[in-house]
A = this chain, B = another copy of it.
């Protein structure tokens, strides 16, 4: 079936939101830990997170048009620090629950049953229950005028993880970690490895590749 631009424009709003949020496929799911300058902590659930570069190590994330009480954004602006914490199968339900709109003075850590973990001189809390944790320092905020979103860029300044998850070549084994992925805003998945492939070169294994292709 084919859906045209004008059909998209005329769709019922929630149908379109569900369609467009789910159509690109699996996303990077992170609980984002922050704290305001009074020490009230927050967890926000984000899936619009992307790799921007490895040197310096930069990750981007998208904020929808902001309401004044957007705690995660305000806290990052106040302290300059935030954390990404992966979601595991045994706590995807309370992780999802952190996406509810709790008042700023209440902490999703306490409400949803997560424990805070701090590093010295780093103002944002990590989620103790996660096994891959990234500490980021705010670098840049880009205003996207086309739809009033913001793209926030941070640099990785801390990594906390179980040692057996890190491979000899730097590869993080999310199968061992049991990291959960998401489609749209609400559909959670575990994964099964197909294969890790070597760097693709133009001059080799071409026939082999094509013969495995069974249109």
Contact = CB atoms under 8 A, between A and B. Distances in A.
Contact of A19 (B1, B21, B172): B172
Contacts of A67: none
Interface stretch (A34-42, A71-79, A163-171): A163-171
Contacts of A21: 51, 54
Interface size class, chain A: 35 or more
Interface string A10-51: 010111111111111111111000000000000000011111
A183 B192 contact: no
A83 to B, nearest CB: 12
Contact of A23 (B24, B25, B132, B140): B132
A68 interface: no
A66 interface: no
A172 B132 contact: no
Contact of A200 (B96, B183, B196, B212): B96
A189 interface: yes
B194 A191 contact: no
Nearest to A92: B194
A2 B27 CA distance: 25
Contacts of A3: 158-161
Contacts of A171: 18-19, 22, 184, 187
Q: Which 8 pairs show the lowest CB-CB distances between chains A and B? A: A18-B170, A19-B170, A26-B181, A15-B170, A100-B200, A3-B159, A189-B191, A22-B172
Interface of A: 1-5, 8-9, 11, 13-30, 47-60, 62, 64, 84, 86, 89-94, 96-102, 111-115, 119, 128-129, 132, 134, 139-140, 142, 144, 146-147, 149, 151, 153, 156-163, 166-167, 169-172, 174-175, 179-181, 183-184, 186-202, 205-206, 209-210, 212-215
